[in-house]
Chains A and B, each alone.
Chain A
Amino acid sequence: DQQVKQNSPSLSVQEGRISILNCDYTNSMFDYFLWYKKYPAEGPTFLISISSIKDKNEDGRFTVFLNKSAKHLSLHIVPSQPGDSAVYFCAASEVSWRGGTSYGKLTFGQGTILTVHP
């Protein structure tokens, strides 16, 4: 079962307009959410995050919204730029205990390919 889903494999947007990437989750134990951006042949780069106690976090052109009742997360990019064209992964974290130790286990969505046209 996929606990984190990005239902749109791709999104195409005009430069200067808003890009909205969506993510749904099913596990109510997730308490921290992140967005990563990935260019071809590079590793994922951390973009922005939000704790489950908040419903919005902003960083420059990027804003993440969290709707806990709907178990829905979205990333808004405004204005969109051609350099934003990449694959965007949402990820959700929960504390996982194994053998007496804990860590923040990340579960990733499948990714959304964003293309911003000049």
Chain B
Amino acid sequence: NAGVTQTPKFRVLKTGQSMTLLCAQDMNHEYMYWYRQDPGMGLRLIHYSVGEGTTAKGEVPDGYNVSRLKKQNFLLGLESAAPSQTSVYFCASSYSRLAGKSDTQYFGPGTRLTVL
């Protein structure tokens, strides 16, 4: 039981390049999330998904796109990277509150992205 895994762990991009971050979970969670963490700012929600084939915007969605083609995977894409997107990205997953479960989110180890 690996929990939440993320690939890659590190990446350096040049401004304007694109990339996709992959998140996978094996806990059969309905909900998945992408956050970014910047110094002194806690974690901010980028996009989230409440089920396969559905996605929605979070607090800071600009410059990112997501897709959830399979329940266990959640992809975060940067179409044209900018230096402001230099950050640590965390994926998380949770059960559905409507299913009587708690809101506890379980996090992956993170991807450190640098955009030059």
Binding site for B on A (CB under 8 A): 4, 9, 32, 34, 36, 41-46, 49, 89, 93, 95, 98-99, 101-106, 108-111
CB pair A110 B40 closer than 8 Å:
yes
Which residue of chain A has the shortest Cβ distance to B110 in the bound complex? A43
Q: In whole angstroms, how far apart are the Cα atoms of A4 and B51 in the complex?
A: 27
Q: Which residue of A lies closest to B4 (CB)?
A: A43
Q: How far is the CB of B106 from chain A (nearest CB, A)?
A: 6
19 contacts between A and B (CB under 8 A): A32-B102, A41-B109, A41-B110, A43-B92, A43-B108, A43-B110, A44-B90, A46-B104, A89-B42, A89-B43, A99-B56, A101-B54, A101-B56, A103-B50, A104-B97, A105-B45, A110-B40, A110-B42, A111-B42
Q: How far is the CA of A64 from the CA of B31 in the complex (A)?
A: 26
Q: Does B98 contact A (CB under 8 A)?
A: yes
Q: Mark B41-67, 1 if CB is under 8 A from A, else 0.
A: 111110010110010100000000000
Which positions in B face A, CB cutoff 8 Å? 4, 31, 40-45, 48, 50-51, 54, 56, 90, 92, 94, 96-98, 102-110
- Given A4-B42, A34-B104, A43-B92, 7 other A-B residues pairs in contact with their CB atoms under 8 A: A41-B110, A43-B110, A49-B102, A99-B56, A102-B98, A103-B50, A103-B96
CB distance from A29 to the nearest CB of B (A): 13
Complex alpha-carbon distance, A4 and B96, angstroms: 23
Contact across chains for A46 and B45 when beta carbons are under 8 A apart: no
CB distance from A90 to the nearest CB of B (A): 9
| A114 nearest CB across to chain B (Å) | 16
Contacts of B44 in A (CB 8 A): 108
Residue of B nearest to A45 (CB): B107
**Contact between A103 and B41, CB atoms less than 8 A apart:** no
A102 touches B40 (CB 8 A): no
Contact of B94 among A42, A101, A102, A104 (CB under 8 A): A104
What B residues does A32 contact at CB under 8 A?
Answer: 102-103
B56 touching A108, Cβ below 8 Å: no
Closest 7 CB pairs of A and B: A104-B103, A43-B107, A108-B42, A93-B103, A108-B43, A104-B97, A110-B42
